[in-house]
């Protein structure tokens, strides 16, 4: 009975979140459309199952009422007869299967609630497109795959990540590939924690929601020779991330970051092609001495894969004072001073 009340509470909470989102006036119509489609498939609270689910009204969808037990027992007896096994064994097997289905649905409800809350929050902050912006319809194959992966996630950490992915895909379909969803579904907590550490040290070039590049600079050395070991990214740890397709195989690849070097000052503002992003803050490099306008600045290090860059959007960046100090010292040795800029993400 206690579990029944708990499950009913989860349905009521998810139902409130989904209802508020679908009926909310601050949500653009195309996003509402996608939200309705996604939650109708994933979340019991969206369409079919009211609070009465656990009050005995619908015998097909009750968890522990006499009606469901009767259905379970009847089905078990039929299975036992057909397979010539002990009826009690069949009843236990069918009941465990029913519990599995309910557990998976509870997981999907929690993830749907997280997604609904994030979409509402971002709408209030006006971080996403307005009603006039074209938003494609969310893909059914993507939803089917997401449902399969998300239903297995029972930890709060993984439910939060899957909720953020769902919110992002509802607002901007094709933000997260099926490959990326499957990759996240395969991560255990240890690898997820290691990926969080990597993301927290990343220097990035970002335009709106897309990353042109994201990498952990190896500070003038080679990460394959343990240049990043002191920061929790040894060669062996990098191999784990690469095996999970979160980073590319060349640990000393490079990307030209000259676009983030200031070219001068006009009307009191530094002129820069694109500021770099580090630790959720935007920076511009100021040359200590004059340098040719077209001189390259290849930043070597461990680069995120395509899926890694997609997942970078949903992780919570953690501070790292020792790496930040080492990074700024490295740039200083290159004749560049890091200066923080106030940048509106929507303007990039």
- Domain boundaries in the chain? 2-186, 189-347
Residue 83's SS3 state is helix
Rounded to a whole number of angstroms, the CA Rg of the chain reads 25
Round to whole Å and give the CA distance between 77 and 47: 32
Beta strands in the chain (DSSP E): 203-207, 210-217, 253-256, 265-266, 269-270, 276-278, 281-287, 298-303, 336-341
According to the model, what pLDDT value does residue 265 have?
A: 58
Q: Determine which helix (DSSP H) or strand (DSSP E) holds 242, and give its type and residue range.
A: helix 235-243
Q: Tell me which DSSP letter residue 247 carries.
A: B
What CA–CA distance (Å, rounded) separates 21 from 35? 8
Per-residue pLDDT, 313: 94
Q: What count of other Cβ atoms lies within 10 Å of the Cβ of residue 273?
A: 13
Position 137 scores a pLDDT of: 93
**Would you state the pLDDT for residue 271?**
74
Determine the pLDDT at residue 135: 87
Distance, first Cα to last Cα, the chain? 53
Q: DSSP of 122-147, one letter per residue?
A: HHHTT-S--TTS--PPPPHHHHHHHH
Give the DSSP per-residue string, 296-309. --EEEEEEB-HHHH
Residue 122's pLDDT is 84
pLDDT along the chain (348 residues), means of 10: 49 56 70 88 60 38 46 53 58 64 87 92 66 79 96 93 96 95 94 96 92 97 97 97 98 96 65 90 91 89 98 96 97 94 69
């Amino acid at each position: 009975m206690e579990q029944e009340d708990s499950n009913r509470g989860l349905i009521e909470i998810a139902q409130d979140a989904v209802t508020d989102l679908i009926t909310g006036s601050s949500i653009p119509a195309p996003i509402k459309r996608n939200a309705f489609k996604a939650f109708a498939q994933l979340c019991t609270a969206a369409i079919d199952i009211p609070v009465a689910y656990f009050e005995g009204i619908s015998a097909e969808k009750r968890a522990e009422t006499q009606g469901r037990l009767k259905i379970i027992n009847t089905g078990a007896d039929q299975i036992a007869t057909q397979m010539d096994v002990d009826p009690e064994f069949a009843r236990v097997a069918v009941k465990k299967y029913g519990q599995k289905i309910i557990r998976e649905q509870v997981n999907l409800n929690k993830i749907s609630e997280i997604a609904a809350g994030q979409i509402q929050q971002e709408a209030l902050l006006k971080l996403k497109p307005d009603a006039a912006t074209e938003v494609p319809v969310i893909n059914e194959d993507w939803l089917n795959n997401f449902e399969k992966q998300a239903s297995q996630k029972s930890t709060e950490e993984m439910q939060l990540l899957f909720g953020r992915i769902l919110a992002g895909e509802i607002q901007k379909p094709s933000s997260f590939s099926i490959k990326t969803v499957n990759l996240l579904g395969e991560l255990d907590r240890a690898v997820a924690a290691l990926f969080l550490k990597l993301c927290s040290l990343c220097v990035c070039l970002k335009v709106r929601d897309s990353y042109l590049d994201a990498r952990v600079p190896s500070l003038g050395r080679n990460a394959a020779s343990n240049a990043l070991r002191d920061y929790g990214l040894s060669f062996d740890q990098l191999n784990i991330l690469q095996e999970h397709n979160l980073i590319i195989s060349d640990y000393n690849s490079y990307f030209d970051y000259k676009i983030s070097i200031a070219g001068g000052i006009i009307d009191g503002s530094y002129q820069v092609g694109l500021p770099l992003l580090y630790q959720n803050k935007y920076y511009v490099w100021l040359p200590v001495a004059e340098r040719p306008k077209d001189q390259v600045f290849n930043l070597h290090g461990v680069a995120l894969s395509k899926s890694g860059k997609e997942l970078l959007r949903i992780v919570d960046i953690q501070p790292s004072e020792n790496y930040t100090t080492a990074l700024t010292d490295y740039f200083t040795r290159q004749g560049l001073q890091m200066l923080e800029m106030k940048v509106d993400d929507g303007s990039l």
